[in-house]
Structure 1
Amino acid sequence: MAHKIKNVVERLDEIAAEKAKFHFREGVMETEHVSDAERRHTSSFVTEPRVYGRDDDKEKIVQLLLANMNSQDDISIYAIFGMGGLGKTTLTQAVYNDERVMEHFELKIWVCVSEEFNIKRLTRAIIESAGGMVGDLSELDPMQCRLRDILNGKRFLLVLDDVWNENQDEWDKLKSALKSGVGTGNSIIVTTRIEKIARMMATLPLHQLELLSKDDSWSLFKRLAFESRETEHHSNLIMIGEDIVKKCGGVPLAIKALGGMLRFKDEEIDWLAIKESEMWDVSEHENGIIPSLRLSYKHLPSHLRQCFAVCSIFPKDYEIQREYVIQLWMANGFIPSNGQMDLEDVGHDIFNNLLWRSFFQEPWKDRFGNIMSFKMHDLMHDLALSIMKNECFTMENGMIQEVPKEVRHLSYNNPHSSQFHVWNRDVDGLRCLRSFHILSSIRPLHFDGISPNALKKSSLRMLHFPVRSIKKWPIFVHRLRHLRFLDLSFSDIKLLPESFTSLQNLQTLNLNNCHQLCKLPSDMRHMIKLRHLDISDCSSLMHMPNKMGQLAQLRVLRMFIVGQHEGQRIDELKNLNKLRGHIEIKDLDNVKSPTNAKKANLEHKAYLDSLSLSWRVNRRDGGRYTSEDEKVLESLKPHTNLASLFLSGYGGIEFPSWLKGMMLPNLVSMVLKKCSKCEHLPSLLGRLPLLQNLTIDGMDRVKILFSENNHSAGDTTHVINANATLFPSVKNLVLSDMPNLEDWVLGVEGRQLMFPCLEYLSISRCPGLKVLLPPFQALISLCIEGFEEAETLPGKLLGSEQNSPLRHLEIKSMPRLKFLSNDFFDNVGSLVTFANH
């Protein structure tokens, strides 16, 4: 095989040399290239009699252009971006020809930039569009001098339509020529499909063009498809047309293309054919949708093309997890090595590039601002399918379908059933199969009807098989020597055999929520390519394999159980400084000295943004000195980048110094649970500037939520200014099982300076708390539970100076509650939901 590969490489080198020798270039035939360029060339003339759904966009841009008349900047640059087919050019034409814009600017210039960002060509085009003559000028300098003469003393508007150039230097050269010698109040409008380009060029806030609304989409379609006939006489076509409009997903180009095709088709069968066909099946000489989107695809680097196209494995409108799709790319070798950058980081760059170019949409972010999931527009999904053809295939809803023999990426999607059932013949004989995915969102899934041998494909790189009813290790899996990704999460598997370590190419192992799993292979340290190990919520797992610290490539380790024996102690984390995301460190009561805790080296794990530290509540050595916990926790100081901290079962009386001072300035979320011996909360908890989510649960001895005296004896460095705002960013607050909690604050005047942003408050089983802090200016939802002796709620619940935005009140386990005071109802405004349990 090595000799064969060598021969192929040598032949490819010969071909490349011949290409250079004869000056061949990549791309389509010249006639096709010219035809495509001409088809996409734009001008300033309005091509649409009416622009549907863009009135607000147009008015916003026009007002911004007019407002910049008195700007002191030489040129103000406004960028409009969005996926292909949204009507960026059409909107810009409407703005360009608006009467107010025409009166405002003495000179208006329109240039279609397209794919070639050539300074000479663009300078010539700007001169000619401005009414000047280039003549026999061929050098850049005299051209730019002539351009300066034309622009000098005139307020101008320049449109650069359809920009693809991502080179900052090229843009700076053109911008310098445009700014040279001109006055103030000039404007440039840039249209592009790529957000990165918009950000590079714009000096004003970006304008992202959105999809058309349902009503505007129908209005545009109806004008095109029913222009020559009465709609009331074609009710059957209207119903089909509404489905076709949904298919277009709010993209004007798609609506125009399909509406125009149907204008002269009166037969219902013709309309149904369009409705049921895929976009690429529609004749391309009549339909410019896929070719237009394919242009965006053409501009992608080769590795981005692969990464985008393989996403057709997911069904339409499927919410795709970002980390999962990056794992898909890694498992299939689509992510190129990039020097010292981790594959995961390169994968994130690829994802961001595809998002900026509108191949991905609707990003959903967590509370830390990280993108967790996204979707693909239906037309982008159609584009990906048209590229992959039969290489990607999805079995939908358990339907019996013939799977193409050449399929490389196969998925099973049945979102409405918990039964996983695939016919053996569907997957048997698929020799090219590289990845198999079960995408059902229902948990748990139950396994039915497939033989293990059906998935015994030596070519498999990725196996996503989260099926509950798997109880034994599938005997075929350890033979998948090329496997890089394995997901058996939510299964009932109890142990992984030692033969599992033969998967020497495995990069990712997901076993989360395998509640029966009690043992991992003892020699996992030999799986040196392992980068991701997720064993979170494996509640039966009692210890880690020996010497996990030797897995130097680990980037994700969701849980580490501290053991007492050599090779299982906390110092195994010492060299794993590239761990990222979240890690839960359990059974810290097995740490015998602060020296061992220090060896975990948490302070140097800069990529961790979430940390959970827990001690067993019911310890065998329940009488051990709490000072040991204090010393251990002091030695577990995390990196200042930490955004989320969870402490549970801590047995110390005092919190560590790194929680008392401002040593975690980036903390967004904190949970303190069952720290039953602590009498005071961390002293500067109320001063953390970014803290948004705070949960305090099972703190038996705490009497005051916040006090300026919450610091150790002799520690005078953290005295709180009485006028300072406390908990300035907290939006969600949960107080639970605090029997001795009496008041919110002590030693600080001005209670109104606490929790100015609080939106959600839950107070459970805090019987000693008699006063609720007034006022909660932003409170939307309030849950009160377990005040078993109370007959009424405090009248000062929400303050008396202003109405509260409270919309939901839930009261639980208050059997003696008889009434709510008038003062309470005077201040809640219009209460939407009231639940009493």
Structure 2
Amino acid sequence: MADAAVLMLLSRLAPKLEKVVREEARLAFNPNDEAQKLSSKLKKIQQVLMDAEQKAIVDPKVRSWLDKLQDISYDIEEVLDKWDLHNLKQESGDASESSHQLHKKVSSFLQSGFYRFKQSVVRHPVARNIHKLNKRLDLISKENEDEFKFIPNLSRETQDFRRIISTSIVDVSKIHGRDDDLKLLIKKLLPEKGSVLEDDIHIVSIVGAGGMGKTTLAQLAFNDNTMKDHFGIKIWVCVSHPFDEIKVAKAILEAVDRESPNLSQFESLLQSIKDSISGKRFLLVLDDVWTEDDTMWKPLHITLMENGAPGSRILVTTRNRKVAEIMGSTQMQLLDPLSDPHCWSILSQIAFHGRQEGDCEMLKEIGREMAQKCKGMPLAAKTLGGLLRFKSSLQEWKNVLKSKVWEMDEVRTNIFPFIALSYNELHPAVKRCFSYCAIFPKDFLINVDDLIRIWMAHGFLTSSGIVGEMELKGREYFEDLAMRSFFQDFEFDALVGDNRVEWCKMHDLVHDFAQSLTNNECLIAQNDVETQNGAWDKNIRHLNLLKFEGKISMDLFSHSQTRKLCSFMCTENEIPLFLFSHLKRVKLLNLNDCKLKDVPMEIGDLIHVRYLNLGRNSIEKLPESICDLYNLQTLNLTKCWSLHGLPQGIEKLVNLRHLLVDGTPSRFEFTQGLEKLVNLQTLDRFGCIRGYDNKLGYLKDLNQLGGSLTITIIFLDDAYDFVSEAEKADLKNKSFIQHLTLECEEVEGFGVIVALQPSPNLLRLDFIASYLPNWITTLINLRELKIGEVENENGVLHSLRNLPFLEELTLYDLQVESLSLEFFGLTTVATSKPPSAFPKLMHFCIQYCKMLEEWDDIGDEEEEEDETIISLLPCLQRLEILLCWQLKVLPHRLLRKAAPSLQILTIGSCPYLLERYSEGRGGEDWDKIAHIQNVYIR
């Protein structure tokens, strides 16, 4: 990884370093020779890095040279961070006394005129360090000139990231060539009635080499509709290496009970599992099992086998047949390689996406030859397809076929050649972003927005100073990687569409490749003897401590172990407070759920920190020194249930872009100064309560806010200052916010709610208040709308049918007794023009409307008048009616009109409807809804 890291670091640091040296030289009346020399030296190093990258594959000496170059690049960046902090403090008038004295010393140098540049370098700390770094660069450059003699690359083509015009991501969710395998697997999981296997609990294993599609096959079976009816409980657990029985047990409980168990003793967990699954038929998938130690599996095995209902199944995926036997598999399904035509089918689906038919025809012959290279591995076909997608000519395809990567002995038998080919095509900054993902554990569910913030913290995303530019570039880098199949298992943003991924994972083999690039830089520390003794390379830059059982050894945090760390992730571990004084270089500090009750003042000394996650801790107050972290870009305080508020000096965090406070107390204090953080793009919650100083007017100038924002207002009235503050918030001009939640509890009067009118660009609104304002009907771009606790809707409810793009509508706890035909625009049937009510609505949910007794239906005559109501709910696919205790009957004829699209009807905790429509209870009107494909009544 050093090659990409160095090229990216040097390209970013060279102009910045030149500027610093120029300023130092100018202060001492020195010519610019030193600056010009340094700039030229950096540019020369950049030019030879591409050649060095190729030679480093086979030459360990070159790799060592790159490692030294990377090491000095980190040191350069540290020095420049200190310089930036010094300048920022000077500009803000917050310079320390030592900084003031330092400038007085520089001024005396200027007045005397007797000091040469070399002397000023020695006296000025920043300049002195730069001078030392400059000498180290001389040695590295000389080593190239004397020994390696790398060939310069003078082309600019690879230096600038070229945004891919088509940003559509091809998600190959269908598993090609495995139809028979899927049928066989389902047959093993759902044996025929009367068979020997029907009444027992069995373990079924899928065994195959990495990249063969074991997990995908298991996913298809797990999500098959037949499984939903057969198994009362379905559980998916990613196991990976090492086998952690406590982690697996907790994952099982979390899937069954829908909440994280607050248990740490294995015996207690087993007892809870026993209680949760007792007498229930379950399907448990244990994905990616490696352990050959049956003693770790046996207690779980016994608990599951003895307490599950007959017909339960455990499905195991593994690369090792011996593991399947140790797990106690009664049936084993071996995955053979795909045929070449099936590999071609996967490869061409990706590689030909968006191409002209003529181009596809020209490339088919060589493409089929490429498919033979895949050796039957679906992942290889996906990866190679992702590479070829961006090769436009026949000659470019031939160049891939002739690549020397195929000749690499150490990777000839596995997937790495395909990943290496795609990796080599990446821009250096994108390479760096990819390789950093080795810091996450295997099977880790990655939040893409958070990943981009992490890349940003490490300087992988450069910016010209435009707000939001780095986040946009990070999204482009991610999409580039996703389209080349470096990520998979996408979960898309439902509001934006299928081109914006919210969550994803990395395939195990892709993760292995990333780790191979970062062996001397990234480390995921396990709970083992070596880790406890701190036995790892002291040059590690990025450290992720997975959950340890018991206390972590103090030796783990010695100064020598932590002095070079740039990333420190430690989740669900108790850490010593003195650690903060050991992380002088860290840029990313993730202490999520680390049992912190206090944050020491020393955190203010971590001047390089750009990403700070203190979420899920018991912190009551943040120290004021946290406001000295001038470089801070992301501050995550999510689910800090005891935290009183933000520190008083919050306005000093001028670089803060993402502030996450969801899950903090309702009386959380948003201190004055928040309004000066004009670079904020994320503020997920803001609260305003009578008697507290939080003012809605703090939001006035935060016009870069985007994503999701929840505003909670409690115990306000229409007093002048509250309405005035709501108007100052100017939500109407917050055009980047896509999802707004307004919770107006115990709000007296109407003025505050009216003044909180959001931008018409809003895509989703969750509105909970007693009054329903007219401005809702102006939000013409809404895709999702939830309305709750409304007592007086003033007729606005009947206007919702005119929202042209509304796809989901939820009515929650409304004080209404009937849902009239007027709601659907059917005040009179005899109209000259067919009404178009809710033209895009796909999901309609009525929940906890405890006063709702009637839902008006159209008459027999109107049902036959197709022309008059042909446009009624034309897209409705799903209808849910939950906790409506007084509702007597459904509008049968109205629902029949929606029958062509209506696929799912769910009725829950509605006693009258349960009695009337339940097929099993002989409901009198079951036949009225029997035409709906899926009906669930409980």
TM-score w.r.t. length of structure 2: 0.55
Contact conserved, 1:327 with 1:485, CA < 8 A, in 2? yes
How many angstroms apart in 2 are the aligned matches of 1:684 and 1:616? 24
Structure 1 equivalent of residue 822 of structure 2: 707
Residue type matched to 1:792 in 2? Answer: E
Partner Cα separation in structure 1 for residue 454 and residue 603 of structure 2: 18
**Structure 1 349/375 Cα, relative in aligned 2: closer, same or farther at 3 Å?**
same
Counterpart-to-counterpart distance in 1, 2:555 and 2:655: 34
Aligned twin of 1:28:
51
Change (3 A) 1:791 1:387: closer
Q: Does 1:408 align with 2:541?
A: yes
User: Partners in 2 of 1:458 and 1:219 — Cα distance?
Assistant: 46
Residue 876 of structure 2: which of 757, 772, 791 is its match? 757
Counterparts of 1:622-641 in structure 2, within 5 Å, are: 624=748, 626=749, 629=750, 631-641=751-761
1:431 paired residue among 560, 563, 567: 563
Q: Which structure 1 segments of 5+ residues have no match?
A: 36-115, 119-163, 169-193, 224-236, 260-278, 440-444, 712-718, 796-808, 810-817
Judge conservation of contact 1:424–1:451 (CA < 8 Å) in 2: no
Alignment of 1:46-57 (within 5 A): none
1:239 counterpart = 2:321: yes
Amino acid corresponding to residue 605 of structure 1 in structure 2: K
Question: Displacement, 1:326?
Answer: 0.7
Distance 1:508 1:209 in 2: 34
Asked if residue 383 in structure 1 is aligned to residue 518 in structure 2, the reply is: no
Q: Does 1:576 align with 2:708?
A: no
Q: CA deviation at 1:645?
A: 0.6
Looking at secondary structure, tell me which structure has more helix per residue: 2
Q: Distance in 2 between matches of 1:450 and 1:254?
A: 52
Among candidates 615, 623, 627, match of residue 497 of structure 1:
623
Name 2:727's counterpart in structure 1: 598
The aligned residue for residue 688 of structure 1 is: 803
Give the letter for the 1:364 counterpart: E
Match of 2:614 among 483, 488, 491: 488
The answer to whether the 8 Å contact 1:679/1:703 transfers is no
Q: 1:258–1:287: 8 Å Cα contact kept in structure 2? A: no
User: Which is further off, 401-410 or 211-220?
Assistant: 211-220
Aligned to 1:461: 587
Q: Which residue of 2 aligns with 1:364?
A: 491
Kept in 1, the 8 Å contact 2:567–2:588? The answer is yes
Q: Which runs of 5+ in 2 are unaligned?
A: 1-16, 26-32, 59-152, 183-205, 213-318, 326-332, 348-370, 379-404, 864-868
Distance, in Å, in 2 between the alignment partners of 1:461 and 1:538 is 25
Report 1:34-183 matches (<5 A).
Answer: none
How far apart in 1 are the matches of 2:52 and 2:915? Answer: 82
Q: Is the 8 A contact 1:424 1:449 kept in 2?
A: no
Residue 304 (structure 1) aligns with: 430
Residue 695 of structure 1 aligns with an amino acid whose one-letter code is: T
Identify the match of residue 324 of structure 1 among 425, 450, 453.
450
Q: 1:471 to 1:167 in 2, by over 3 A?
A: closer
Question: For 1:618-654, what per-residue CA distance to the aligned partner results, in whole angstroms no more than 9, with x for missing partners?
Answer: x6xxxx5x3xx1x33333221122111111123x3xx
3-state SS of paired residue (2:797): coil
Q: Which residue of 2 aligns with 1:784?
A: 907
Contact 2:824–2:837 under 8 Å retained in 1: no
Letter in 2 for 1:641: N
Report how many residues are paired.
595
Is residue 806–residue 838 contact of structure 2 (8 Å, CA) maintained in 1? no
* Aligned counterpart, 1:51: none
Q: Which amino acid aligns with 2:567?
A: S
- TM-score, scaled to structure 1: 0.61
The aligned residue for residue 677 of structure 2 is 551
**Given residue 855 of structure 2, which amino acid in structure 1 is its aligned partner?**
D
Task: Say which SS state the counterpart of residue 367 (structure 1) adopts.
Answer: coil
Q: Using the alignment, how far apart are the partners of 1:14 and 1:295 within structure 2?
A: 32
CA gap of 1:287–1:728, structure 2 versus 1, over 3 A, is: closer
One-letter amino acid matched to 1:658: W
Aligned to 2:783: 668
Whether the 8 Å CA contact 1:303–1:334 is kept in 2: the answer is yes
**C-alpha separation between the residues in 2 aligned to 1:694 and 1:238?**
49
The verdict on how the C-alpha distance between 1:198 and 1:516 changes in structure 2, with shifts beyond 3 A counting, is: closer
Q: 1:649 aligns with which of 761, 766, 769?
A: 769
Q: State how far apart, in whole Å, the 1-side matches of 2:668 and 2:613 are.
A: 21
Indicate the larger mover: 405-414 or 392-401.
Answer: 392-401
Q: Sort the Cα spacing of 1:195 and 1:381 in 2 relative to 1 into closer, same or farther, 3 A.
A: farther
Give how far 1:222 is off. 14
2:440 aligned residue (311, 314, 319) = 314
Is 1:821 paired with 2:936? no
510 and 238 in structure 1: CA distance in 2 versus 1, 3 angstrom threshold: closer
Q: Is the 8 A contact 1:485 1:507 kept in 2?
A: yes
In structure 1, C-alpha distance between the alignment counterparts of 2:52 and 2:699, rounded to whole Å: 58
1:472 Cα deviation from its structure 2 partner: 2.3
Stretch moving more, 581-590 or 600-609: 581-590
8 Å Cα contact 1:637-1:658 kept in structure 2: yes
Q: Determine if contact 1:424/1:454 at 8 Å carries over to the other structure.
A: no
Contact 1:735 1:763 in 2 (8 A): yes
Per-residue deviation, residues 751-773 of structure 1 (Å, max 9, x unmatched): 78236423241231341553344
Which of 793, 796, 799 lines up with 1:678 in the alignment?
A: 793
Higher mean alpha-carbon deviation, 308-317 vs 692-701, is at 692-701
Partner of 1:672: helix, strand, or coil? Answer: strand
2:818 & 2:176 partners in 1: Cα distance?
56
Quick check: 567-576 or 212-221, which moved more? 212-221
Distance in 1 between residues matched to 2:425 and 2:718, nearest whole Å = 55
Partner AA of 1:656 in structure 2 = P
Residue from 526, 535, 541 that aligns with 1:396: 526
Identity of matched residues, %: 23
Q: Is the partner of 1:682 in helix, strand or coil?
A: helix
Structure with more contact order per residue of length (Cα contacts < 8 Å, sep ≥ 6): 2
* Counterpart selection for 2:886 from 761, 767, 771: 767
RMSD, aligned CA: 5.0
Structure 2 partner of 1:659: 776
Is residue 845 of structure 2 the alignment partner of residue 733 of structure 1? yes
- Residue of structure 1 equivalent to 2:659: 533
**SS of match in other structure, 2:544:** strand
Return the alpha-carbon distance in structure 2 between the equivalents of residues 734 and 195 of structure 1. Answer: 44
Q: What residue number does 2:742 align with?
A: 613
Task: Indicate conservation of the 8 Å contact 1:737/1:764, yes or no.
Answer: yes
User: How far does the alpha carbon of each residue in 1:31-67 deviate from its partner, in whole angstroms, 9 at most, with x for none?
Assistant: 979x9xxxxxxxxxxxxxxxxxxxxxxxxxxxxxxxx
Contact 2:877-2:904 within 8 A present in 1 as well: no
- Tell me which amino acid in the other structure corresponds to 2:546: N
**Pair 1:576–1:741, CA change in 2 (3 A):** farther
Inter-CA distance 353–513: structure 2 relative to 1 (3 Å threshold): same
Q: Which amino acid aligns with 1:423?
A: S
Aligned to 2:246: none
Partners of 1:769 and 1:681 lie apart in 2 by 25
- Change over 3 Å in CA distance of 1:706–1:289 after alignment to 2: same
Q: Name the CA distance, whole Å, in 2 between partners of 1:585 and 1:307.
A: 34
1:220-267 deviation digits (Å, cap 9, x = unpaired): 9999xxxxxxxxxxxxx98379999999999988974999xxxxxxxx
How far apart are the structure 1 equivalents of 2:784 and 2:656?
Answer: 30
Amino acid in structure 2 at the alignment position of 1:646: D
Which AA in structure 2 matches 1:348?
R
1:69-105 CA distances to partner (integer Å, 9 max, x unpaired)? xxxxxxxxxxxxxxxxxxxxxxxxxxxxxxxxxxxxx
Match of residue 351, structure 1, among 440, 462, 478: 478
Cα distance, 1:327–1:312 mapped onto 2, change above 3 Å: same
